[in-house]
Amino acid sequence: MTTTSTPADAFGMRGKVAIVTGGGAAGDGIGNGRAACILLARAGAKVLVVDRDVPLAQRTVDMIVAEGGTAQAMSVDVTDEVPCRQMVERAVGLWGRLDYLDNNVGIGSRGSVVDEPLDTWREVMKVNVDSMFLACKAAIPAMIATAGGGAIVNISSISTLRPRGLTTYSVSKGAVIALTKAMAVDHGKDGIRVNCVAPGPVYTPMVIRNGMSDAARAQRRRASVLGVEGSGWDIGNAVRFLLSDMARYVTGQTLVVDGGATLVGPSRESEEH
């Protein structure tokens, strides 16, 4: 695991409570959600690790506990309103409050509106947008009631900033940005900040689960103007910052974490390599 030189108390998270959806990952892999769980726990937060596949969530919990942190696992279908309410009730029941929500759940798709089956369109919207709507719908009243406010981070994608053949996915992640801004306006008066992270081509278990060649991995690395490969830790660090007191004056924003990939056109790869 990575280490951090930032003192844990600097984040203002000690004794606070977070829910992270999509907090599992295959094996010991570090996905965006698992990285966020571990980093939040390192900063002193108690973490409810949510994943539809509870053994994956439990592995994240085991990693946190091994470092001396506090976490519990829970299997939740976040596309359903009742389980989302139960998720929030579990966090509050365990630790008496809710301060943070990190919405990580998402699936992908490829193709244009002509190619995409309607059923796939609806499923992607359900998983990528409905899940965040429902999780926030359940979490916000609990944040207000138990903590007097809180912070939310929703995970979008650079695919909505630079669409390239992933139309349904790009649209769903664009909706996440719009939802983030709307909730920031609606709930600023309640002491709740809402921000968004748009990851670039980071190397995570979800990305490679269907296999990835060394050449494809190298091409993704070169998409960064820094020439380095991003990882789940990069996204997790961005999430922790936006949830923390360090970002107390930041709301309604989208933080792009892509090594500069969106600064250059897709043709750069063929022109320079």
Q: Which residues are catalytic?
A: 169
Closest CA to 130 of 61, 176, 162, 76: 176
- H or E, element range at 75: strand 70-75
Cβ contact 70:46 at 8 Å: yes
Cβ contact 87:138 at 8 Å: yes
User: Per the structure block, which two tokens stand in for 172?
Assistant: 């769903």
Cβ contact 11:245 at 8 Å: yes
Closest CA to 247 of 258, 256, 238, 235: 238
Based on the number of CB atoms within 10 Å of its own CB, is 118 exposed (0-12), middle (13-18) or buried (19 or more)?
exposed
Beta strands across the sheet bearing 192-199: 70-75, 46-51, 17-21, 100-103, 150-155, 192-199, 254-257
- H or E, element range at 242: helix 232-243
